Amino acid sequence: MARLSLLLLFLGLATLTAGQECTHPFIAIGGLCIYIDPWVTGTMEEMRAICKSHHGDLLWFDSDTDCDFYQELLTHIHETGINEKDYWMGITDEGHEGEWRYIKTNQVTRLGPPYWDTGYPRDTITYNCAMFENSRQYYWRDFSCTSSLAAICRYA
C-alpha cells in the first residue's frame, strides 16, 4: 500500500509525454516543460521572477523553426480554456533597439511570419517586450514591458 501511494504521488508530481519528464507545476507540451498561469499577471520582470522561482524563465524557442512546438502550445492554450489572456514571451529589444533577442539565450529572433503578426514589431523605443496576444490569435507583437500580462514559463 505504501508503495502504491508513493507511486501515485510521484505520478502526480511528474508528467511523462513523448519522453519528456516535467515536475510540478510544469507539464510537457511539444517535448518541452511549460508552466502557464493565466490568473497571475504582472510586468515582464515580475513574471520573469515568477518563472525563475520555479526554476524556469519566460518562454524562449531554441530555433526559429520550432513551428511544431508553437502549434502544440497554441492547441494546449485553446483546449484548456486559458485562451482569454495575453502572455509574455521572453523576448526584448531593450538595449539593442530593433534587434529582438530571447532573454534566456540572447539569440536573435526571426522577424515576420510565422510568429510575429503583420506590422510587428514596430520601430519604437516605447514597446520593448514581446507578447502572445489573444486578440491576434497568439501571434507575437511588441508591447510595453510595464503592462500587466500573464506568463508562459519554460523549464530552464
Per-residue pLDDT of the chain (156 residues; tens, 9 = 90+): 443 332 333 333 344 444 579 999 999 999 999 999 999 999 999 999 999 999 999 999 988 778 899 999 999 999 999 999 999 999 999 999 999 999 999 999 989 888 999 999 998 899 999 999 999 999 999 999 999 999 999 998
Joined together, the cell numbers standing for residue 74 give 497554441
pTM over 0.75: yes
**What whole-number distance in Å separates Cα of residue 151 and Cα of residue 18?**
24
Please say whether the beta carbons of 133 and 91 come within 8 A: no
**What CATH number has the domain bearing residue 130?**
3.10.100.10
Q: Measure CA of the first residue to CA of the last residue in the chain; give whole Å.
A: 35
Structurally, the chain folds into a number of domains equal to 1
Residue 128 lies in a domain: yes
Residue 4 lies in a domain: no
